Structure 1
Amino acid sequence: MEQYIEFIGNNAILSIIWLALVVMIVASWFKSKFSAIRQINPQQLTLLVNREDAQVVDIRPVKEFNSGRIAGAVQLSAEKAKQSDFAGLEKHKNKPIILVCTTGMTASGIANTMHKAGYEQVYVLNGGMGAWQSAGLPTTNGK
């Protein structure tokens, strides 16, 4: 125990950095555990669509959406979504909605906005379209 106290005394900055990292990891864990937004993988997305009639909402730009998307997905621009403009999705307010972007990062913020707007079951595809394609799952093209 004395060695720990001596180490902390001799390496105050390193000890503070270590403590900050531990706090951030614990805070991140709590946030993910108690968040209303769930991250799902491609297999879970498929189950939600097939079993609970979930709606896939792709928030990538139109050009990317048209070059390859999950079958049945609808496109919603990220700009509209950030402004809480969820036109066309009102009928899905009580159903599962799965947000998809390129990597899953943009979708997380928009999922929080949707949840605050009253959408009850909002999910994010963890890893976005990259995860979907890496899993070897099919995409559709065209308008």
Structure 2
Amino acid sequence: MSETDTQSCPECGAAIVPGKVYCHKCGFNLSRAAEEQAAPEVATTVVEPTPEELSQSTQSRHSASPITLILACILTVAASYGTFQLGKSVLLYEYSDTRDLYDQTEEARSKLADSEQKRDAMITAIFGGDEKFNSLLESKSITPFS
């Protein structure tokens, strides 16, 4: 085609104004169409692998398999060991907290027993010889004397 010929839009067939990028009728991108026409088609050839190449590629996959298996086993053992150690440290931490609470409870019980003994001694010192007080304690089933 020469430059004097009128060009038409490949999409709608309308006449194209020279120098425009889009068709004035349908909006088709004319620059892209020009690039596609200018680009030569590249011939593609498909090369199929020979049976020897196929067997070599399958052998290389199988040779990596034992190594992959060994690495997977090592990683599994390492992850299991790490999980065990983490659980063990958590249990030890909780045990030490429990032990501390137990010790604090025993200390509080000891202080309570001491204060009860002091209270009983004070009651005995104040009301020890009073028969009326002793009969009241016996009727209420309270025994301040240990």
TM-score, normalised to structure 1, is 0.21
Indicate the structure with greater strand content.
Answer: 1
Structure possessing the higher radius of gyration over alpha carbons: 2
Structure with greater contact order relative to length (CA < 8 Å, sep ≥ 6): 1
Indicate the structure with greater helix content.
Answer: 2
TM-score, normalised to structure 2, is 0.21
